Amino acid sequence: MAQIRDELRQRDYSPRTQRAYAHWVRAFVRFHQRRHPRDLGAEELRAFLDDLVARGASPSTHQQALCALTFLYREVLAMQPPWIDQLARPRRTLTIPLVLSRDEVQAVLRRMKVFHSS
């Protein structure tokens, strides 16, 4: 963990990013019964990320965990595993606003009047 913190500080990552990345690396290692990340591969990383999704993690949380682990492998362990680039990136879901502005409400009502009078 000291190696990760040193790399993050050298690259001038924000303190919050440093804490978040350290959290995800610790969670990944704990998830795999404290095995060293060098001994883990694509399947173990996929299992960890799938578990996050199964526990209801948002796409941004999934993305942050993936970025932290990519940083671990590429920058800290100096490994360039080809499988990292093939991992599926989470997609953000399109959300519909729950509150409309006054102008938006008027536009909807105008359309309803036009549609209804035809």
What is the chain's mean pLDDT, rounded? 83
Q: What is the dihedral of CA 10, 61, 41, 69, to 10 degrees?
A: 0
Domains and CATH numbers, the chain: 2-93 (1.10.150.130)
- Cα distance between residue 98 and residue 39, in whole Å: 47
Cα dist from 79 to 34, 49, 84, 96, whole Å? 19, 20, 10, 41
pLDDT for the residue 10 = 87
Examine the pLDDT at 118 and tell me if it is beyond 60. no
pLDDT for the residue 101 = 87
pLDDT-based confidence at 19, cuts 50/70/90? very high
pLDDT for the residue 20 = 94
pTM listed for this prediction: 0.67
Instruction: Give the pLDDT confidence of 57-115 residue by residue, as tens digits.
Output: 888 888 899 889 989 888 888 887 666 666 666 666 667 768 888 898 899 888 887 66
pLDDT for the residue 16 = 93
